[in-house]
Structure 1
Amino acid sequence: MPNETVTLSILKANGPLLENMEDAVVREVPLTIHYNREEIATLLCSPSQTEELTLGFLLNEGFIRVPEDVYELRHDPLDHLVWVEGKPCLLQKELMSKRFVSACCGKSRASFCFANDVLMVKPLTSNLRIPLQVAYDYAKFLQSYLPLFQETGGIHSGGVGSQGNVLLTSYDIGRHNVFDKLSGKAFQSNLNLENHVIFFSGRVSSEILLKVAKMKVPILIARGAPTDMALSQATALNITVVGFAREQRLNIYTCPERILR
């Protein structure tokens, strides 16, 4: 396991008192991903679950679709480099960062996304329903999960659940990296996420909502707040967004029929 924290000397204030002490700080590293000998992206991330992050990123950006698309993956943990050999991809890399503003997925509300997203994201069809108490239970899990957060307070966490059970977990300094790692773990396990729930420690931006849509997950439960653009996209894509999920409290913003009272 990589060393995920560093210990630094700090000056801590408590009221009028100042005290010299040591504190654990979460590490951040640049991970550069190459696909078929071409540099694709550099992600700022936690130095763990690197293979899952790489596969999830490539999957969510459209470079790979099924495990058979990946021929080889090599990782240099010292220089934070990953090389993936896989099926030739017709998707143009420049589309990853090309802005595209249009009606979201053919709906009437204007939305911002990238050109690759337009090609990959479609409205979901799912009959999944979960009891309200199960939603509370997933939120509660986020509070108790992950000693590294308790130690540093510097990371986001998330998980995938089904029928009240937690199947996958991930964590990272980057919100979007959490979702790529979950996606990569599901990819490795050949797990179809279409009737699962994702729960997440942070806020829900449009970027996060599109990650969920690419994973084809119909319910997102977050401890943080959503943005208006994320909710506009969620409505168009038929995704249930739950925010401010803490203890026995939560807000259901879109597609509320999936949460049974």
Structure 2
Amino acid sequence: MEESKRFPVLKAQGHTVTETTDLVVSEVPLTVYFNDEEIVTMLCSPAQLEELAIGFLLTEGFIKKQEELYSLRYAPEENLIWIEGKARPLQKELMSKRFLSACCGKSRASFYFANDARLVKPQNSSLQITLTEAYTYANHLQEHLPLFQATGGIHSGGIARNGEILLTSYDIGRHNVFDKLFGSAFRAGLDLENHVIFFSGRISSEILLKVAKMKVPILIARSAPTDLALNLARDLKITVIGFARGDRLNIYTFPERILID
């Protein structure tokens, strides 16, 4: 499936208008079934779709361990994925069930959905990285993603450890990037408790919760965090770094994990 397509466009510069074509990213719907029940339809980029489906089910608690995923079948011509796994009859209901309560028993932030409250816990990792590592991860996306450079229309992210880039993903949707990474890590058998996630976009509370569900202690982003995301990060003991570009970054929470080299 094509990742991008050319469309005719009128380009204006000052008062000069020319006819040309522009490269735009592709967008497709993907519907996921779990134990023959339709769970979700996601709009996404047409890459790593099996990983996206697995990652979504992981973040929503349908699957927790390798042995709980029995089979996966993908029909690319219809953009449908069927996954068989351990029965969890209440998960779909919990996905949208409102649940307002203080995060981890404190008053700074609240969970909004029951699944979030059930699936996250504070990260007590002793992982530390250097500033040089943080800069390297943040700049990797800008330097190694030709589709973004060609279209400007996608988010991207990656997982790293000890200075090595292990996995990368991209998508039109910020949330999909993390689900693709989670699904890829699950398939590779990676335990993410001592890994770093780096990301091209903004850190909202929803993004922070996905990182917490992945059990990753350090998140590096090229853009800004929200206040709710930082409150959650304090409660969940996640190091948040924002505005990481070139040789600049801001460390917002748990700076002891970043070594000044």
TM norm. shorter chain > 0.5: yes
Normalized against structure 2, the TM-score is what? 0.98
2:193 alignment partner, SS class:
coil
Question: What is the match of residue 30 of structure 1?
Answer: 29
1:194 alignment partner, SS class:
helix
Q: What code does the residue aligned with 1:86 have?
A: G
Question: What is the match of residue 250 of structure 1?
Answer: 249
State the distance in 2 between where 1:65 and 1:130 align: 28
The root-mean-square deviation of aligned C-alpha atoms, in Å, is 0.9
Question: What is the match of residue 100 of structure 2?
Answer: 101
- Size of the alignment, in residue pairs? 260
Are 1:26 and 1:154, in contact at CA under 8 Å, matched by a contact in 2?
yes
Are 2:60 and 2:91, in contact at CA under 8 Å, matched by a contact in 1?
no
**How far apart are 1:114 and its partner, in Å?**
1.1
Question: What is the match of residue 176 of structure 2?
Answer: 177
1:158 equivalent in alignment to 2:150: no
Question: What is the match of residue 211 of structure 1?
Answer: 210
- The CA deviation string for residues 92-149 of structure 1, in whole angstroms up to 9 with x for no partner, is 3121012222111212213243111111111111000001111011111111021111
Residues 47-86 of structure 1: pairs in structure 2 closer than 5 A = 47-86=46-85
Are 1:105 and 1:121, in contact at CA under 8 Å, matched by a contact in 2?
no
**How far apart are 1:91 and its partner, in Å?**
3.5
Question: What is the match of residue 124 of structure 1?
Answer: 123
Structure 2 residue ranges without an equivalent (≥5): none
State the distance in 1 between where 2:113 and 2:200 align: 25
State the distance in 2 between where 1:238 and 1:23 align: 43
2:147 alignment partner, SS class:
helix
Q: What code does the residue aligned with 1:6 have?
A: K
Normalized against structure 1, the TM-score is what? 0.98
1:158 alignment partner, SS class:
strand
**How far apart are 1:86 and its partner, in Å?**
1.1
Question: What is the match of residue 195 of structure 1?
Answer: 194
Question: What is the match of residue 39 of structure 2?
Answer: 40
Q: What code does the residue aligned with 1:162 have?
A: R
% identity of equivalent residues: 66
Which sits farther off after the overlay, 140-149 or 170-179?
A: 140-149
State the distance in 1 between where 2:109 and 2:123 align: 18
Are 1:101 and 1:110, in contact at CA under 8 Å, matched by a contact in 2?
no
Question: What is the match of residue 136 of structure 1?
Answer: 135
- The CA deviation string for residues 173-211 of structure 1, in whole angstroms up to 9 with x for no partner, is 000100000000010011000000000000000000000
Structure 1 residue ranges without an equivalent (≥5): none
Question: What is the match of residue 231 of structure 2?
Answer: 232
State the distance in 2 between where 1:18 and 1:79 align: 40
